[in-house]
């Protein structure tokens, strides 16, 4: 791999894709492709759209990430999350390009209470998870050298996510609540960008499934509470400092079933790189300071 690689990022306007583009552009030639440049649903165009570029590596951070939309649009979910990634994997394999595909903790049923390794059996509880799992399998069959990185509860500077919903609600309302009986590990997109780059630059030959998230795990309620504690310490004018618990089963807005416990075990990542991810609390504190203490230019 050349020191300065040509890297295509798909899903370049998404939460993760935008972070990869921003963090990697100084040292690499990044080709940022959004939906308007390459639409996963137009499967017949994928090969020629990618053929227009010379590249050493490709990261697929695109896909339908709304769990409930996948439930109501299963065919769209299957194309975006499974059959289109298979085509992309085949193109990368034929060109000898490094392929990193992003997957999810939602491939697990969530029934257990211990962190899931890459060898743990995957039994998705909904169509999002099922299509992502199918995508993993199709990608690795079409491109056995690919790396499939499962991540969980992404948050990042480029697009709002759960902690922003909690903080923004607490800035205008005296009531905030969040689900207390669902657990996973938050993942800071900035950290993930640094971890993934290892697998393009130094560890190009690592392949198969890999779990990536910040250390530790939490419920949505405790995650939100931690976000409010940090925001309060930073002096944000919150109207409440407490996140009240609600049960997942009483949450009528959900269409798809959510898996309760999908904590990822990152031991394989540490074995491969020597890196132990920092805790999600440390990452969250850095994020909230960076996002909410920004001064107007
Ligand atoms: N967010 C999480 O908490 C989470 C958790 C576990 C795993 N993941 C995985 O991490 C990856 C990145 O997630 P994210 O949070 O960055 O998601 P995101 O912000 O929703 O970004 C996904 C991107 O994919 C694009 N996209 C959707 N359908 C497309 C299509 N038909 N053709 C081309 N592009 C399309 C979207 O474009 P538009 O902006 O035009 O819609 C969006 O920019 C995904 O593989 C997701 O499954 C995310």
pLDDT of residue 25: 97
Mean pLDDT for 215-239 is 98
Which residues, in sequence order, are bridge partners of residue 211? Answer: 150
Mean pLDDT for 118-142 is 98
In whole angstroms, what is the distance from residue 21 CA to residue 27 CA? 11
Q: Is position 253 within any domain?
A: no
The residue range of the domain holding 121 is: 6-160+186-216+263-278
Q: What confidence tens digit (pLDDT) does each residue in 138-164 have?
A: 999 999 999 999 999 999 999 999 999
pLDDT of residue 203: 82
- Kindly report the CATH number assigned to the domain that includes residue 155: 3.40.50.720
In whole angstroms, what is the distance from residue 247 CA to residue 268 CA? 33
Q: Is position 296 within any domain?
A: no
Q: Taking 70 as the threshold, does the pLDDT of residue 176 lie above it?
A: yes
Q: Is the CB of 41 under 6 A from ligand 1?
A: yes
Q: Is the CB of 63 under 6 A from ligand 1?
A: yes
Q: What confidence tens digit (pLDDT) does each residue in 245-276 have?
A: 999 887 777 898 889 999 999 999 999 999 99
Q: Is the CB of 14 under 6 A from ligand 1?
A: yes
Which of the listed residues 15, 39, 126, 191 should we mutate to test ligand 1's pocket, taking the one with most ligand atoms within 8 A of CB?
A: 15
- Give me the number of domains the chain comprises: 1
Ligand 1 centroid – CA 240 distance (Å): 31
Residue 151: in which H helix or E strand, if any? strand 147-151
Active-site residues, by number, are 128
Q: Is position 13 within any domain?
A: yes
For residue 186, name the pLDDT band (cuts at 50, 70, 90). very high
Q: Is position 258 within any domain?
A: no
């Amino acid at each position: 791999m050349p020191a300065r690689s040509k890297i295509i990022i798909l899903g370049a306007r998404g939460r993760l894709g935008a972070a990869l583009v921003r963090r990697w552009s100084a040292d690499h030639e990044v080709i940022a492709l959004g939906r308007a440049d390459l639409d996963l649903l137009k499967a017949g165009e994928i090969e020629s759209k990618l053929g227009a570029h010379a590249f050493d590596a490709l990261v697929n951070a695109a896909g339908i990430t709304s769990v409930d939309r996948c439930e109501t649009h299963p065919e769209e979910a299957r194309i975006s999350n499974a059959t289109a990634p298979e085509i992309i994997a085949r193109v990368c394999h034929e060109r000898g390009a490094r392929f990193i595909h992003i997957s999810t903790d939602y491939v697990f049923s969530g029934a257990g209470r211990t962190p899931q390794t890459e060898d743990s059996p995957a039994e998705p509880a909904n169509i999002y998870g099922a299509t992502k799992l199918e995508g993993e399998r199709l990608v690795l069959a079409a491109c056995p050298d690919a790396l499939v990185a499962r991540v969980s509860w992404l948050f990042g500077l480029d697009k709002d996510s759960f902690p922003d919903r909690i903080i923004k609600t607490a800035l205008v309302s005296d009531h905030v609540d969040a689900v207390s009986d669902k657990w996973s590990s938050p993942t800071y997109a900035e950290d993930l960008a640094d971890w993934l780059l290892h697998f393009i630059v130094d560890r190009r030959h690592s392949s198969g499934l890999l779990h990536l998230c910040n250390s530790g795990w939490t419920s949505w309620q405790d995650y939100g509470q931690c976000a409010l504690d940090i925001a309060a310490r930073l002096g944000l004018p919150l109207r409440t400092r407490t996140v009240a618990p609600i049960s997942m089963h009483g949450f009528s807005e959900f269409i798809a079933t959510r898996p309760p416990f999908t904590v990822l075990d990152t031991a394989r990542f540490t074995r491969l790189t020597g890196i132990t991810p920092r805790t999600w609390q440390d990452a969250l504190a850095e994020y909230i300071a960076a996002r909410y203490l920004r001064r107007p230019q």
